Structure 1
Amino acid sequence: MTNTFVTLQQILEARQRLAGVSRSTPLDQSETFSEMTGCQVFFKLENLQKTGSFKLRGAYNKIAALGREAANGVVAASAGNHAQGVAFAASRAGIPATIVMPEGAPITKVQATEAYGAKVVLKGQVYDEAFAAAEEIQRQSGAVFVHAFDDPLVIAGQGTVGLELLEELPDVEAVLVPIGGGGLISGVGCAIKEQKPNVQIIGVQAAAAPSMLEACRTGKVQELKSAYTIADGIAVRRPGQLTFDMVRKYVDQIVTVDDEEIAWSILMLLERSKLVVEGAGAVGLAALLYKKCGLAGKKVAIVLSGGNIDVNVVSIIIERGLVKAGRYLRLRTVITDKPGSLQRLVGCLAQSGANIISIAHDRIKPNVPLKQAEVEISLETRNHQHIEQIVETMHKMGYGVEILK
């Protein structure tokens, strides 16, 4: 194992540097999710942190400690949140920042990073390819590289989340933390375990990007072939060596959740708690909702690590979530092309208690018989049983029904 482990003292020093810069984010108890999961659930709201995620803590701690070493500026690679943290910190320090982001990075994160004054370079399809490009820029420019996770000062900054959490909830029994490269869970694990060793630290990864889990399983850091997930903030193919060593020391368990579970958790947080959380930030709740870690009856804190999610993604998640819950239905049917036919169909739907969101009537499609018209309808429904009642009512009135996915 490496001898450069981050210490509790370094995390305490990081908190001093961050005083007046980062927010001490709220710890919010959720009665709704406590009832749903059988645990006492508390959310550490890092989605309300400046720049929209915990990443500000580590980036600022690193840059603030550099001093004159950063005269040529800083360079970083990021899927989005670290980019904003570095850009913010560099702006405060009065030094230039260049951030390399994957070409598919959410436009909101790109724009936010530029708004903090950084130069953004789009390169590669995933974080790891952006990282390689950032290293080349660093070699050419002489700027200081600010690693997103595998850096003691960055990890120490992230560890201040754990300090706050333990002060706010001294009797916490388990903490669920997202894992991408491992910087957050390394810092949080150190901050908590060094003070209360009996607290369970549980890491959560996207099932499509389980790089740290694989490293722990095989005993060495390796690169995954791919890491495509809705949780772009933790889509890391290769975790850090320092973070790997710290995870083995401080983390009790790593579990995974798939993209459908993540998407549903984003929607539930939005609807039930009025919290906007990105994919990476929702994985801890997903692990609890889908019973991945056996914490029934325990006092559990979940780090909601960020809230920088593209509104277009939110729209898709909402629509898919409504379909999954039976609260949205798209269907196609054929009616006769004569006056009153559409009115009769609408009356049938009104009789079944469905609310029409949109309707498209087409009588010139090549595959629609003459004197008939195809109708596609989007409906607001109550649940799956209601959908079955609608389809049954339509069948009784002579309509053929095709449910559209």
Structure 2
Amino acid sequence: MTTSTTAPSAADVTAAAERIRPYARRTPLFRTEVDGRPLVLKLEHLQLTGSFKLRGALNALLATERPDRVVTASGGNHGLGVAMAARLLGLPATVFVPESVPAGKARRIEEFGATLVRHGATYADAVVAAWAAAQQPGSRYVEAYNDPLVVAGQGTVAAEVVAALPEVDAFAVACGGGGLGAGTALGAGGRLTVLVEPEHCRAVHDALAAGEPVDSAVDSVASSALGATRVGRVPFDVLRANPVRSELVTDEELLAARDRLWEEFRLAVEPAGAVPFAAWLAGRVPGELACVVLCGANTDWTPV
């Protein structure tokens, strides 16, 4: 039941890529120009389950002894990733979510075959209940971000980009608990990783400023995906040891970026998925050819 706190390495990302290859999509790259500047978009919102979270969940389950059942807590996207990973591997899964979970994400978790349990007002409340349920012998609790195997799995996103387009010189990713940011820092091959968060949903930014994980307030339209109140110790240690930079965007900026992705490219992402694009549009991501990771698309769209 305990989770290792040993920091993962670039070699762990390489091993994760081999493990998950039969199950996860190798999502496409879209090279374009916006406002006269070259840009690469990693279309990770086209991943199975609609977000990168499947990668870390698969790696966590494939790299350890097969459990009898899988348990996790999630604000939505991680739960979808765990539910699908368990389904692909033929394992039963239970996902605890806060009462505030978006209806679309809750519905899809159940559609993937997992048992959905609503508990508490916050993600932290759901975690407490999930950990208690996972004490049953044979259970495997899959952390959302504070697990070296999960972080290594998320790093395969950047590793795919580097392998296909080595000329990319910086990455911009959305951050919540730090799993994707830390994984990107490991998979980026020494390139700068710009960690982008909403200005009122900033666990990574506050931790880097304080020099250690600290509690942080959560208040953003993107909080269902980026609503960690504290960055995980495992990803934080990775981030401190690699070239990273923290940037914040307003809710107005990230919603405008989401709308622009749709209007110009017909790319439909949830608010959290547009966060790094918002920072790039505002000139806060350096590099001659940066890669912006569109990390999620788990939102409901109303047909017209």
By the TM > 0.5 criterion, same fold? yes
Q: 1:149 aligns with which of 142, 145, 151?
A: 145
Q: Which amino acid aligns with 2:96?
A: V
CA deviation vs aligned residue, 1:103-135 (integer Å, no higher than 9, x gap): 111111111111111001112233222222211
For the pair 1:76 / 2:69, whether they are aligned, the reply is: no
Q: 1:179 aligns with which of 165, 175, 179?
A: 175
Structure 1 residue ranges without an equivalent (≥5): 316-405
Contact 2:185–2:244 at 8 Å: present in 1 too?
A: no
CA deviation vs aligned residue, 1:260-282 (integer Å, no higher than 9, x gap): 11111111111111001111111
Q: Percent identity?
A: 37
Secondary structure at the aligned position of 2:240 is classed as helix
For the pair 1:211 / 2:203, whether they are aligned, the reply is: yes
Secondary structure at the aligned position of 1:208 is classed as coil
CA deviation vs aligned residue, 1:348-405 (integer Å, no higher than 9, x gap): xxxxxxxxxxxxxxxxxxxxxxxxxxxxxxxxxxxxxxxxxxxxxxxxxxxxxxxxxx
Structure 2 residue ranges without an equivalent (≥5): none
Cross-structure match for 1:117: 113
Question: TM-score, normalization: structure 1?
Answer: 0.71
Separation (CA, whole Å) in 1 of partners of 2:262 and 2:12: 36
Contact 1:74–1:95 at 8 Å: present in 2 too?
A: yes
Separation (CA, whole Å) in 2 of partners of 1:241 and 1:251: 17
Distance 1:234 1:45, change over 3 A: same
Question: TM-score, normalization: structure 2?
Answer: 0.94
Report the more deviating stretch, 248-257 or 176-185: 248-257
Secondary structure at the aligned position of 1:250 is classed as coil
Contact 1:11–1:159 at 8 Å: present in 2 too?
A: yes
1:146 Cα deviation from its structure 2 partner: 0.1
Secondary structure at the aligned position of 2:228 is classed as coil
Contact 1:106–1:310 at 8 Å: present in 2 too?
A: no
Separation (CA, whole Å) in 1 of partners of 2:137 and 2:166: 46
Cross-structure match for 1:30: 32
Contact 1:58–1:155 at 8 Å: present in 2 too?
A: yes
CA deviation vs aligned residue, 1:284-318 (integer Å, no higher than 9, x gap): 1100112234x3x7211000001111336x99xxx
CA deviation vs aligned residue, 1:68-121 (integer Å, no higher than 9, x gap): 3x12x1111111111111111111222211101121111111111111110011
Q: Where in structure 1 do 4 or more consecutive aligned residues deviate above 4 Å?
A: none
For the pair 1:299 / 2:301, whether they are aligned, the reply is: no
CA deviation vs aligned residue, 1:135-156 (integer Å, no higher than 9, x gap): 1222356521100111111111
Contact 1:269–1:275 at 8 Å: present in 2 too?
A: yes
1:3 Cα deviation from its structure 2 partner: 7.4
Separation (CA, whole Å) in 2 of partners of 1:270 and 1:142: 44
Which of the pair has the greater relative contact order for Cα pairs under 8 Å at 6+ separation?
2
How much is the aligned-residue C-alpha RMSD, in angstroms? 1.8
Q: Which amino acid aligns with 2:82?
A: V
CA deviation vs aligned residue, 1:236-270 (integer Å, no higher than 9, x gap): 11110011111111242100111111111111111
1:16 Cα deviation from its structure 2 partner: 1.1
Separation (CA, whole Å) in 1 of partners of 2:127 and 2:5: 25
Separation (CA, whole Å) in 1 of partners of 2:182 and 2:269: 22
> 1:319-398 to 2 correspondence within 5 Å?
none
Cross-structure match for 1:241: 233
Contact 2:207–2:214 at 8 Å: present in 1 too?
A: yes
Q: 1:228 aligns with which of 219, 225, 229?
A: 219
Separation (CA, whole Å) in 1 of partners of 2:125 and 2:251: 22
